[in-house]
Amino acid sequence: MSPSLSTNESPKSQKPFLTALDGRSTGKPPIWLMRQAGRYLPEYRAIRATAKSFLDFCYTPALATEATLQPIRRFGFDAAILFSDILVVPDALGQRVSFETGEGPRLDALTDPDAIKGLSELSFDRLAPVFETIDRVKSALPPETSFIGFCGAPWTVASYMVAGRGTPDQAPARIFAYQYPEAFQLLIDKLVEASIAYLSRQIETGVEAVQIFDSWAGVLPAAEFEKWCLLPVAKIIRGVRSRHPLARIIAFPRGAASHIPSFALSTGANAIGLDTAVDPSWAKKYIPPDVVLQGHLDPLVLIAGGAAQQAAVREILTAYRDRSHIFNLGHGILPQTPIAHVEGLIRQIRYWEG
């Protein structure tokens, strides 16, 4: 496909989220929350109960569209994020994925290095309901609301593919990568290619920005971080931009700590999602000034609420008043979060006088 400037890539936008992502001033930061569609919302729990499995839910456009729109209707966030999961990619590469209630994802673990060669090409047929969801959401969103697509970063997705489940320290994938570096590189390369194709198709279907979630970037030693996180994400961003030169891309290398500045420079992401542990005064000083910062309220302070929440929100707003900033959490919102606390957060940001 030739590089195109589709309407969703228009360089100047009136939408606050896109304005901030383009590095232009918005006064108050726009806001959205990672995992903003989900179990803390009663209306989500109600429609979730109608689907056989979580994957069925993700692959049913009517339900996924509704889940995407629910937090927009309730809170008026500045951006909607496509309702899906990072694990639809392994599913579309032919690795069986399921979600056990209360236990998280289960995959047929890739313990045999030769099995990686057996993965199929990314199936756009399997992902067709995701693209249909994008199409439906696009026409239902209010004009001021931006639309974000996403994928998991290769390292994070590979950690589930190798272990067959979530693990506290990603040890199975890390051991596999040390024992079978060539096979692991092949897996990462396949995920890079799949992610470029998948994100490009999301952009062509109508999302206005994409986020690459590297939720498990923080566990790797420096050399492994470079090989398995920084370089693959840089390749994805280059690959997407070779098809869509103006694509807006947010990278979220959770836990990458002191690696963040070089990660931001080398990947060329428009924005970096910061995690809970990052010190705002450090971020301001060491992350290049043309990189937009997104984040990074502690999801737990949003459960606590009250004075602690107000002070934490004020600290972030004050720290980033001179930078392009998109307000978000430092990781996903938790199911036990009171809705009143989310409402309080939005009020505080909208009424902030800086």
- Report how far residue 211's alpha carbon sits from residue 151's, in angstroms, rounded to the nearest whole number: 7
97-100 and 104-107 as β-strands: parallel, antiparallel, unpaired?
antiparallel
Q: Is 73 part of the annotated catalytic residue set?
A: no
Q: Minimum Å distance from CB 246 to ligand CP3?
A: 23
Residue nearest to ligand CP3 (CB): 215
Q: Is 350 part of the annotated catalytic residue set?
A: no
- From 98-106, 221-229, 264-272, 309-317, give the range in contact with ligand CP3 by CB under 6 A: 98-106
Q: Minimum Å distance from CB 4 to ligand CP3?
A: 26
Q: Is 160 part of the annotated catalytic residue set?
A: yes
Q: Minimum Å distance from CB 252 to ligand CP3?
A: 8
Q: Minimum Å distance from CB 330 to ligand CP3?
A: 11
Residue with smaller CB distance to ligand CP3, 105 or 280: 105
* Binders of ligand CP3 in range 2-41 (CB under 6 A): 34-39
C-alpha count within 13 angstroms, C-beta hemisphere, residue 166: 12
The maximal CA–CA distance of the chain, rounded, in angstroms, is 58
Residue with smaller CB distance to ligand CP3, 59 or 150: 150
Do residues 233 and 225 lie in contact, with contact meaning Cβ atoms separated by under 8 Å?
A: no
- Report how far residue 206's alpha carbon sits from residue 167's, in angstroms, rounded to the nearest whole number: 34
Using a 10 angstrom Cβ sphere, with 0-12 exposed, 13-18 middle and 19 or more buried, the burial of residue 120 is exposed
* Binders of ligand CP3 in range 287-346 (CB under 6 A): 332
- CB neighbours (10 Å) of residue 155? 29
Tell me which of 19, 26, 202, 215 binds ligand CP3, using CB under 6 A.
215
Q: Counting contacts by CB under 6 A, is residue 218 touching ligand CP3?
A: no
Catalytic residue among 22, 85, 91, 298: 85
Tell me which of 17, 77, 198, 213 binds ligand CP3, using CB under 6 A.
213
Q: Minimum Å distance from CB 213 to ligand CP3?
A: 4
Q: Is 85 part of the annotated catalytic residue set?
A: yes
Q: Is 48 part of the annotated catalytic residue set?
A: yes
> Beta partners for 98?
106
Q: Counting contacts by CB under 6 A, is residue 155 touching ligand CP3?
A: no
Q: Where are the alpha helices (DSSP H) in the chain?
A: 16-21, 42-48, 54-58, 61-75, 88-92, 128-140, 154-163, 171-179, 181-205, 222-225, 231-243, 260-267, 280-286, 301-304, 306-319, 339-350
Catalytic residue among 39, 74, 106, 126: 39
Which tokens is 86 given?
A: 């990072």
Residue from 127, 99, 94, 129 nearest 110 by CA? 94
Task: Number of residues interacting with ligand CP3: please give it, by CB under 6 A.
Answer: 24
Q: Counting contacts by CB under 6 A, is residue 166 touching ligand CP3?
A: yes
Q: What residues are labeled active site?
A: 35, 39, 48, 85, 160
Footprint of ligand CP3 (CB under 6 A): 34-39, 48, 54, 81, 83-87, 99, 104-105, 150, 152, 156, 166, 213, 215, 332
